[in-house]
Structure 1
């Protein structure tokens, strides 16, 4: 068998195995129950006085956040290309001020049969965690999701060549619930030209 043909066949087998393993992971015990528990815990924290972004009146009337149903298609593996020049971006906040983030790398992946890319950021102030920050917008914003875009927190260890972008865990910034908060505005290079019907929807207190 010629080498190029053999490589194509092996790549095809790998994709099939990845599809079945992904579906096997995306089940009740491994994925759905923990995700539901995360959502319930977030609702509980939003009802509490200490951690809630709501003003007291809205907190007392709050019941729960709204989400799309979990969808395996929106949990994607992305290739990571670390930027040679990891410069600092002063990301604009909704208040008009700025917050420093390191432009760490580029995540490339495929959704809706189209190649996509998002810039991965590291926060340079406050608590440091082994994760990357991905603010993004998509075609659902202003309709089914918050108009200012949503965020992903992406687990990451130095040297990883791939990351999991789990859009089922996309969440709203605090300014979606309370205009007194100052939240990062997703930069131009993270504006996706497709809809991402996954994760948190718009919260309407009424």
Structure 2
């Protein structure tokens, strides 16, 4: 009898085991979509600001010789025989003639330009210590002077000076200008010099 119940019990356990194995638990959970790949925003790259280029203006002067200046402007510029480092040039747009040279250790510049009346065409810009309206060989004229001394006021070697003479030739309809710059100018009268040199 005991053997019979043992067999029955084993049979029941076997059936329950088979039944449990045959039952499947369904997974009702909704499958989740895989996470989207994160979008990595790259930092904005700032464009370097364009540097402004310093473009110098074209030189308006054309270097030439005495004949070339005469052909371009109509003005014939002579210089003293003792002049050194003579350079002729002209400004075509303004019909300005120019000659620069060195004489007696000073820098000289002589210019001529068509103008309506007397003008300062010297190109010298200083705080003039003296200005005077005058008349040179019956031409309306003006004289300007500048003096600077950074050393011993009694030592002429420490002095820098500039003198300018502008005069108007009504017959030509042009202003003439002569300027001298450098050390102290001892006893120079630009009016007399210009009259002897360019007004004969």
Give TM class, smaller chain. Answer: under 0.3
Greater radius of gyration (CA): 2
Q: Which has the higher contact order (CA 8 A, sep 6+)?
A: 1
